[in-house]
Structure 1
Amino acid sequence: MDWNRWYSLTSYLRSSLWTVPLIAVAVYAVVKPLTEVMGRWMIREGMLDPKTGFLGLSMIGVRSFVGDIVSADLA
């Protein structure tokens, strides 16, 4: 591939808006099943309690914690 075609391809990919969401969807498709399998394994082995699995917090506490993280990220 000539340098000018390579340059135009890389320039197009850097300036296009669809590449980041496409990569994010691909990563999501790989990471989500892996984390679900790992979570089921941790519950089966007794390493994780489903009722208090996230830092020992209740569901309301976890939602509040995640909401605080999202608010901090947006600020």
Structure 2
Amino acid sequence: MESRSNRVGGRWNDMSCEEKSNVIQEEIKRISKLPSNSVYAIHRHKVLNKINHLLSVQRTLLQEKELELLFTQLSL
């Protein structure tokens, strides 16, 4: 049986850069609706910003792995 992280990671790998960016933007909008002092929201927003940054630059193999790991951990 395939683990959830493998399914999410596989879905992430199948997406175009534009689709990835759209998913992240939608999640940022959702998180923005949470209380601004929420530790969860603050952390999630930092992770989403890191993903956005990695999506916007030419990545090394290590950064590509980090991006995949960050997305998988978000469980979007």
Q: What TM-score, normalized by structure 1, do the two folds share?
A: 0.29
Structure with the greater alpha carbon radius of gyration: 1
Instruction: Output the TM-score relative to the length of structure 2.
Output: 0.29
Larger RCO (CA within 8 A; separation ≥ 6): 2
